[in-house]
């Protein structure tokens, strides 16, 4: 089905561009947060409109592909992966907007950000970048590396929230500052989670196997009929 292949390729190209756009947006959001740059934060909000438009366009164009009667399992997985990843990217963009909105219209606070906050932010941006790259280059090994890093981001989150609470308890930080740090931290954690979802979809696309997240860590991929 040449028509199916060409239309699928067009949508995959759109999706990869969307991934780059979302990465740029989240990078700007985090920079705006660190620098308390309202102009940059407003750029993030403006980019979200474009991301939403592309999100809807990809979803609508995916439905006719499924109606073309493809019976090849890999071809069907390609369409399903495209739809699911598109949804994850839109959620990541929303989290980026949430971070930027903590800057717009808010007074800059003098409390210094904990060093771990910068480390977590850089780690999350790296996960998003690598999840995009893993999908675009069909790199299951890179996708696996991103999955393994998710627990590290969770530890950063726990450490930051605990530090914020302790600083408030001893009077070293304001409640407002702790609230903002906790909000940004939770949104960065969501971005990391959505990035791992993209990597799960990449592994599923390439192998047809499902990756499960258990309390002890990420499992090896399993075929769906294995439970």
Which residue is it, tokens 């990465």?
Answer: 23
Give the per-residue pLDDT at 2: 65
**94 or 68, which is more confident:** 94
Q: Are 62 and 83 in contact (CB under 8 A)?
A: yes
pLDDT at position 1, please?
Answer: 57
- 226 pLDDT above the threshold of 50: no
Query: 74 falls in which pLDDT band (50, 70, 90)?
Result: confident
| Per-residue model confidence as pLDDT tens digits over 138-162 | 999 999 999 999 889 999 988 888 8
pLDDT one-digit tens code per residue, 95-153: 999 999 999 988 887 777 888 999 999 999 999 999 999 999 999 999 999 999 988 99
Q: What is the pLDDT of residue 218?
A: 53
Mention every residue, 6+ apart, whose C-beta is less than 8 A from residue 29.
41, 44, 96, 97, 99, 100
The CATH code belonging to domain 2-226 is: 1.20.58.220
Report the mean per-residue pLDDT for the chain.
Answer: 88
Q: What is the pTM of this model?
A: 0.88
Domain ranges of the chain: 2-226
Q: Roughly how many angstroms between the first and final C-alpha of the chain, as a whole number?
A: 33
């Amino acid at each position: 089905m040449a028509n199916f292949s060409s239309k699928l390729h067009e949508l995959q190209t759109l999706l990869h561009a969307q991934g780059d756009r979302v990465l740029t947006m989240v990078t700007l959001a985090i920079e705006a947060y660190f620098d308390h740059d309202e102009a940059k934060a407003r750029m993030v909000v403006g980019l979200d409109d474009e991301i939403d438009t592309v999100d809807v366009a990809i979803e609508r164009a995916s439905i006719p592909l499924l109606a073309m009667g493809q019976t090849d399992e890999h071809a069907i997985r390609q369409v399903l992966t495209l739809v699911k990843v598109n949804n994850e990217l839109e959620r990541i963009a929303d989290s980026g907007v949430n971070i930027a909105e903590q800057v717009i219209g808010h007074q800059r606070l003098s409390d210094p950000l904990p060093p771990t906050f910068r480390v977590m932010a850089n780690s999350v941006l790296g996960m998003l970048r690598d999840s995009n790259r893993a999908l675009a280059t069909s790199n299951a090994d890179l996708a696996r590396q991103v999955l393994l890093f998710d627990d590290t981001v969770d530890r950063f989150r726990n450490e930051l929230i605990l530090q914020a609470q302790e600083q408030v308890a001893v009077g070293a930080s304001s409640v407002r500052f702790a609230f903002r740090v906790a909000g940004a931290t939770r949104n960065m954690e969501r971005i990391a989670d959505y990035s791992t979802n993209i990597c799960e979809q990449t592994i599923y696309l390439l192998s047809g196997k499902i990756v499960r997240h258990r309390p002890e860590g990420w499992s090896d991929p399993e075929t769906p009929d294995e439970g």
